[in-house]
Amino acid sequence: MAKTGYPILAFPTTFFLDKDGRIIDSAMAMKDYDYFEEKIEEALNTNTEIEEETTEAVEATSVQEN
């Protein structure tokens, strides 16, 4: 078995990665389409919320500096 750097405890194993290649979630065993759609939506919403919070923090800092 090739060394992947990702912990595989069962087959199949699916990893959800962020844009930097970090594991943000995983799923072991067979899953249906709805499961994956839900997980993808959660990841997209989480990233959007983080980006919005970061933008708000940067804007608040800019206002305080002026």
Say if residue 20's pLDDT is above 60.
yes
Q: What is the tens place of the pLDDT at every residue in 28-59?
A: 899 999 999 998 888 888 765 555 555 565 55
Per-residue confidence band for 1, with pLDDT thresholds at 50, 70 and 90: very low
Give the domain range for residue 50.
Answer: 32-60
Q: Is 12 within a domain?
A: no
Q: How far apart are CA 5 and CA 58, in angstroms?
A: 34
Q: Is 6 within a domain?
A: no
CB 28 within 8 A of CB 41: no
DSSP structure class, residue 39: H
- Percent of the chain at pLDDT > 70 equals 64
User: Domain count of the chain?
Assistant: 1
CA 49 to mean position of chain CA atoms: 12
pTM exceeds 0.75, yes or no: no
